[in-house]
Amino acid sequence: MRVLINENNEIVGYATVGGLEGDFEVHDSIVPQDFTQTFKPKYYLYQDEKIIINPNYQLDTFEQPTTPTQPVMSDSTLKNMVATLQKQSAQSNIRSLKLERENEALKSRIAQLESKVEVTDNDKNE
């Protein structure tokens, strides 16, 4: 069996197949018979190469973590945020349309230049 202990030598995890990060091997002869049935994190201690019941074991009471609450924003603040986002979106769309027009103009100019190059090449070949 492989066990994982914390800084107080309390067994916080175990594996009978595979392993856990930071665990180590213990010989089956030192493992209590009812270990797997009664295991709870920190219920057992690993001391002097023995596994014993932790005399200081206390059932961990789960405390719901408190999540910080966001302050409630006023309607005017939210409306201002939405208006700002709409303005940014419109500006982005305008920039995108300008770039599309520039791209089309550049494509047209490239096509014109390529056709002039072809005409020049044909004149040279004749």
The full set of domain ranges for the chain reads: 2-53, 72-126
Span 41-70, pLDDT tens digits: 999 999 999 999 999 998 766 665 656 566
**DSSP-based three-state secondary structure for 68:** coil
Query: Which residue blocks in 3-125 are alpha helix, DSSP H?
Result: 35-38, 75-125
Which amino acid, 74?
A: S
Q: Which residue, chain included where needed, has tokens 């999540």?
A: 67
Tell if the pTM clears 0.85, that is, is over it.
no
Distance CA 51, CA 32 (A): 7
Instruction: State both tokens at 76.
Output: 């005017």
Confidence of residue 32 (pLDDT cuts 50, 70, 90): very high
